[in-house]
Every structure is written in structure tokens, then in C-alpha cells.
Amino acid sequence: QVQLVESGGGLVQAGGSLSLSCAASGRFFSNYAMGWFRQAPGKEREFVAAISRSGGNSYYADSVKGRFTISRDNAKNTVYLQMNSLKPEDTAVYYCAATRFGTVVAGSKDYDYWGQGTQVTVSS
């Protein structure tokens, strides 16, 4: 069992930056690939980024490529999402998730554990 708690959301102006964190409890954090998803009001949850167990591989949605960076610190049981050059369309609740798949995956159905989410609001 893995419990995930996101933090770092907030209100920022367009062009600004935010850094999200997701702290995992439970054993064997490094056994899980991790992902970030987001859900805007009235829209389906969508994939943002994923990182492999070791952190050596990552994958991004086209909409955030070049602006967002996912990373992890297995010693601290934490995964991060650095978000730069934020746009109003990035406004959403951001969720982190853990998967027992050995590689990065983008489908929400492939993830086993989810956090409660943190709100990110980007004003124009």
C-alpha cells in the first residue's frame, strides 16, 4: 500500500512558476514508476508527465514538454513537478500517482495509487 500526498499548488500569474511535491508513505517507493495527471473543471483527467523507478527515464505530454520537469528523490520518497512558463490553460487539480509498471506509462488506468490532488490556478 502506498499513500501519496501532494503539496505546492497555488495561484500564480501567467508566465510564472510553481513546484509541486508528492510525498509517498509506505515501503519500496523505488519499486514504483510515478506520474502526474491533471483535471480541469468539466474535463477528463489527463496525463502530464511520468518518471521511471530510477528516475532515468521520463515522458511528457506534448502540452507541457519543454515547460515542465518531473524528477524524484528515492531517498526522500518524493516526486516533484517543476512547472515553468505557466499558462491559464494549465489551471487544474494536479494529482500524483504510482504504478507498479516497470516503465513510464501515460494511461491513468495503469496507475494503482493516487493522491488527493492539489489546485493550481494560473491567472491571465
Share of the chain above pLDDT 70, in %: 100
Is 102's pLDDT higher than 80? Answer: no
The predicted pLDDT at position 1 comes to 82
Q: What is the pLDDT of residues 15-60, one digit of tens each?
A: 999 999 999 997 789 999 999 999 999 999 999 999 999 999 999 9
Residue 26: the pLDDT is 79
Residue of 44, 45, 48, 53 lying closest to 101 (CA atoms): 53
DSSP state of 1: -
Question: Rounded CA gap, 22 and 10, in Å?
Answer: 15
Cell of 21: 511535491
